Chains A and B, each alone.
Chain A
Amino acid sequence: MGEGSPEAVLRCEGLRKSYGGLVAVDGVGFHIAPGETYGLLGPNGAGKTTSISMIAGLLERDAGEVMVAGKPLTTRSTDAKRVVGLVPQDIAIYPDLTARENLSFFGRLYGMPKVELKQRVAEVLEIVGLADRAGDRAEEYSGGMKRRLNIGIGLLHRPRLLILDEPTVGVDPQSRNAILESVERLSVEGMAVLYTTHYMEEAERLCDRVAIIDSGKIVAEGTRRELVELVGQHDRVRLTATGDLKAAVDAACAIDGVKGADVIDGGIDFLADRAGDRLIEILTKVGASGVIVSSVRVEEPNLEAVFLHLTGKALRD
């Protein structure tokens, strides 16, 4: 699907925003298809929140275009905004209203009919696990419960595009896992998800495609595999073995796709493209060299390594 594909739920291009002399976002553009989860991965201050603020119509942009479900979206749009759900980075709920009242208020703002709203509020309370506390004021909730309500409000009106801005910051591991599971489920149900994070593991787990953003610019984009290949990173196969390890290294290096090997303490370290596809061949050659293998570990290069390669700095810098 190309960038101009009519099926894209979100298509943005050339987004630019500056504050005085500081360029916060410079030419950001991408597209997201229905059912696709798209990650914006970058460190704090990279331009993720500014980008999604322009995409959600919160912030006037200096340049660029945003189309949601085929309709242009600006700060003054109402039609296009109707199909966008936003989960802000900071918890955005009314503490002195109950979860049900928070949901109902925002549902009415999105023009949901009364009967449908009542039913949908009950559904969302179930989804975010707050059905049994629906009548309690939000100020009485734990941090994790507030986060879940924060997400529930974004989901309420069944948006076609859900924008989540670092939704797991400051969340306990249990709530974090629940949030990630919810996002996976929404994607399966056909919702397009734009997910910003500086947690590499979340991007790897959730996102079909990832854009690496740094200093307001997208420096690379693609699936994880595409990004890894783009920067020339290789899988690593680590064998714990005994025997003539040098002979095994020489034999395995002859295999197509094996980029190198070293004898290490108690075993052998191989670098290879698509190591999973070549693992049997590697083990066969090593075994033929009289080496006894007691364990095998395959490590694929992660986005952290890609980010480091592309930007020269770590994600958490």
Chain B
Amino acid sequence: MALLRSSLLIARKDITQRIRDRSVFIWGLIAPFGLALIFSFVFNPVSDSEFHAEYVVVNEDGGPVADGFEAALANVEAGGIATIRSVESAEEARRQVEVGSDAFADEQLARADAAFLIPPGFSEGVLAGRGGELTVVGARGSELGAYVARAVAEGFVAELHAVDVAVKTVFPPGVEPTAEQVGALIPAAMAVASPIAVEDISAGTKQLDGTTQMTAGMGVFFVFFTVAFGVSGLLEERQYGTMTRLLAAPIRRESIILGKAITSFVLGVGSLAVLVVASTILLGAEWGDPLGVAVLVVAVVVSAMGVLAIVASVARTQEQAGMFASIVSLVFGLLGGTFFPVDQVGGVLSKVSLIAPHAWFLRGLGDLAGGEVAAIWPSVGALLTFGVVTSAGAWVFLKKAVTP
């Protein structure tokens, strides 16, 4: 009881100091939140905002194949990812794409992210087996819209190939089908549902959205710096000469170390908790089940305390500890995927990334995004094991470090 009492006194004093010198606000809140905000703005147009494109189509053919393509475009529009408009000429279509390329163009002008140009004789050529040319014109600065347009066109071409195969299968060898027969087969072939359905679970539900990924990455990156304030407080006591007073006081030496550990824990959990709440409210981040998030936050802070306690036990001065902590935090942060998803690179690097608590924290949050709180236990287990093993090692060294 006396041990805990004196530890809490020391922790309270340390937290007062950290709040007073504002370091905890800078490293624990402003830096991660600010960087998450910046990265969100940079990456969100791709990763997070709802995609919607404006397409124009020029059907100068009017044949059955061209009609089939327009039907395919209607399906795309029905899916909500694009608006399809028909225009009279290829020139008008190109003009609208040019407007779409100009970021400073008059907002009132009709604009398009891409145009589909179906030339005259397209259907006839396809049906005659000579082939046809379907042109996709994409707007500069709207690469994603152009990419999707091209994918839609290629998809249609693939469907046509399927029809060709179907024709060759339906009609016996030596029998040449008429253009009407082939034309009638196209809508029928396109109406047939694919025998294989792919349900996307991993990408859609077991991955954090861009904003949350960025905020979580920055949060776990900077929590290592925040936690370092508490652990390296032992060295600060020596620098101030106050370690002498603490050792002369009627308290157990363990309470000095425990006090610093409590400080680290409170600062780490506090800064991450505020970051979670603030990013949810201000950035619309979706962290997942609060209980699961809380468990992961506690686990990653425990692991950070262990790692940084080792650092503090090795360092001789506070400046040295700060330098070591920065190196360790940066290396673990990079390996752990706080700046880019190392685990998706594959190979050795994705395996090596698992030595970083950051990787387990982000993995746990990803698993939590899948909806199952129980899915985080492997990550929590890894983080706690990391924390306990490193803390145990550090305890031995830090007890020796508690000297005048």
Chain B contacts for A57, CB-based, 8 A: 247-248
Residues of A within 8 A of B6 (CB): 109
A278-292 residues with Cβ-Cβ distance < 8 A to B are none
A91 engages B241 (CB within 8 Å):
yes
- Which of A34-42, A74-82, A117-125, A262-270 has 4 or more CB atoms under 8 Å from chain B? A74-82
Q: Are A97 and B17 in contact (CB under 8 A)?
A: yes
- Shortest A154–chain B CB gap in Å is 8
Query: Among the listed B20, B248, B253, which residue makes an inter-chain contact with A86, where contact means beta carbons less than 8 Å apart?
Result: B248
Q: List, in ascending order, chain A residues with CB within 8 A of B241's CB.
A: 88, 90-93
Query: Is A108 interfacial (CB 8 A cutoff)?
Result: yes
User: Are A75 and B253 in touch, CB under 8 angstroms?
Assistant: yes
The reply on A96 being an interface residue by CB < 8 A is: yes
Closest A residue, CB atoms, query B17: A96
Q: Which residue of B lies closest to A82 (CB)?
A: B250
Known: A58-B244, A88-B244. A106 touches B16 (CB 8 A): no
Q: Does A66 contact B (CB under 8 A)?
A: no
Verify if B205 is at the interface (C-beta below 8 Å from A). Answer: no
**Residue A95 CB within 8 A of the other chain:** yes
A88's partner among B16, B245, B251 (CB-CB below 8 A) is B245
Residues on B with beta carbons closer than 8 Å to the beta carbon of A77? 250
Which of these, B9, B13, B244, B249, contacts A97 with CB under 8 Å?
B13
Which chain B residues in 232-275 approach chain A with CB under 8 Å? 240-242, 244-253
Task: Tell me the chain B residues, 68-86 only, with Cβ under 8 Å from chain A.
Answer: none
Closest beta carbon of chain B to A90's beta carbon, Å: 4
Q: Does A20 contact B (CB under 8 A)?
A: no
State how many residues of chain A have any CB contact under 8 Å with chain B.
Answer: 31
Q: How far is the CB of B23 from chain A (nearest CB, A)?
A: 10
Residue of B nearest to A150 (CB): B241
Q: Which residue in chain A gives the minimum CB-CB distance to B9? A: A108
Q: What residues on A are CB-neighbors of B248 within 8 Å?
A: 56-58, 81, 84, 86
CB-defined contacts of B246 to chain A, threshold 8 Å: 109
* Cβ-defined contact, A109 with B244, below 8 A: no
B21 interface residue (CB < 8 Å to A): yes
A151-173: which residues lie under 8 A (CB-CB) from chain B?
A: 153
Asked if A86 and B244 sit within 8 Å, CB to CB, the answer is yes
Interface centre among B9, B245, B251, by most chain A C-beta atoms within 10 angstroms, is B245
A91 to B239, CA, bound (A): 10
A59 within 8 A of B: yes
Min CB distance, B245 to chain A, in Å? 5
Given known contacts A94-B17, A96-B17, A106 and B245 CB-to-CB distance under 8 angstroms: yes
Tell me the complex Cα distance, A131–B13, Å: 22
- Cross-chain contact A105 with B249 (CB below 8 angstroms): no
Are B249 and A95 touching (Cβ within 8 A)? Answer: no
Is B404's beta carbon under 8 Å from chain A? yes
Minimal Cβ-Cβ distance residue in B for A53? B404
From the candidates B2, B17, B249, B404, name the one contacting A106 in the complex (CB within 8 A): B249
Q: Which residue of B has the minimal Cβ distance to A105?
A: B13
The residue in chain A whose Cβ has the minimal distance to the Cβ of B245 is: A92
On whether A92 and B242 interact (CB within 8 A), knowing A53-B404, A105-B9, the answer reads yes
Contact A75-B247, Cβ < 8 Å, known A97-B17, A105-B9, A105-B13: yes
Tell me if A312 counts as interface (CB < 8 A to partner B): no
- Chain B's nearest CB lies how many Å from the CB of A62? 15
Asked whether, in the complex, the Cβ of A93 is within 8 Å of the Cβ of B250, the reply is no
Measured CB to CB, the closest approach of chain B to A213, in angstroms, equals 19
Which residues 89-145 of A have a CB within 8 angstroms of B? 90-97, 101, 105-106, 108-111
Cα–Cα, bound, A16→B17 (Å) = 38
Across-interface contacts of B240 in A (CB, < 8 A): 92-95
B398 to chain A, nearest CB (A): 16
How distant is B267 from chain A, measured CB to nearest CB, in Å?
16
B279 CB to closest chain A CB, in angstroms? 30
Q: Which A residues are CB-close (under 8 A) to B403?
A: 58-59
- Residues in A with CB closer than 8 Å to B9 are 105, 108-109
Return chain B residues, CB-CB under 8 Å to A93. 240-242
Select one of A53, A82, A94 contacting B13, CB under 8 A. Answer: A94
Distance in Å: Cβ of B7 to nearest Cβ of chain A = 11
Closest residue on chain B to residue A98 by CB atoms: B20
Residues of B within 8 A of A109 (CB): 6, 9, 246, 249-251
> Could you say which residues of chain A place their CB within 8 Å of the CB of B250?
77-79, 81-82, 109-111
Residue of A nearest to B242 (CB): A92
Chain B, range 338-384, C-beta contacts under 8 Å to A: none
Q: Which residue of A91, A92, A96 contacts B20 across the interface (Cβ within 8 Å)?
A: A96
Chain B residues lying within 8 Å of A86, measured Cβ to Cβ, are 244-245, 248
**Residues in A neighbouring B2, C-beta threshold 8 A:** 78
Give the distance in Å from the alpha carbon of A56 to the alpha carbon of B240 in the complex: 19
When chains A and B are docked, how far (Å) is the Cα of A105 from the Cα of B251? 13
Whole-angstrom distance from the CB of A72 to the nearest CB of chain B? 14
The residue among B20, B242, B248, B249 with the most chain A CB atoms within 10 A of its own CB is B248
| Complex alpha-carbon distance, A268 and B13, angstroms | 66
Which of chain A's residues has its CB closest to B13's CB? A105
- Complex CA gap A53/B16 in Å reads 29
**B249 nearest in chain A by CB position:** A109
Give chain A nearest CB distance to B318 CB in angstroms: 13
Find A76's partner among B13, B20, B242, B252 (CB 8 Å cutoff). B252
Give chain A nearest CB distance to B342 CB in angstroms. 39
The answer to whether B21 and A96 touch across the interface, beta carbons within 8 angstroms, is yes
In the bound complex, CA of A105 to CA of B244 (Å):
15
Taking CB atoms, residues of chain A closer than 8 Å to B253 are: 75-76
Q: In the complex, how many angstroms separate the beta carbon of B158 from the nearest chain A beta carbon?
A: 69
With a 10 A CB-CB cut-off, give which of B246, B249, B253 has the most chain A CB atoms.
B249
* Identity of the chain A residue whose Cβ is nearest the Cβ of B251 in the assembled complex: A109
Distance from A88 Cβ to chain B, minimum over Cβ atoms (Å): 5
Give the distance to chain B from A121, nearest Cβ to Cβ, in Å.
Answer: 15
The residues of B that contact A58 with a CB separation of less than 8 Å are 244, 247-248, 403-404
Residues on B lying within 8 angstroms of A by beta carbon are 2, 6, 9, 13, 16-17, 20-21, 240-242, 244-253, 403-404
**Can you offer 16 A-B residue contacts whose CB atoms are under 8 A?**
A57-B247, A76-B252, A78-B2, A81-B249, A81-B250, A86-B244, A88-B245, A90-B241, A93-B240, A96-B21, A97-B16, A97-B20, A108-B9, A109-B6, A109-B249, A110-B250
Given A92-B244, A105-B9, 18 further pairs, Cβ under 8 A = A53-B404, A58-B244, A58-B403, A58-B404, A59-B403, A59-B404, A75-B253, A76-B252, A76-B253, A78-B250, A78-B251, A78-B252, A81-B250, A96-B17, A101-B16, A106-B245, A109-B246, A111-B250
4 smallest beta-carbon distances between A and B, as pairs = A92-B241, A78-B250, A81-B250, A86-B248
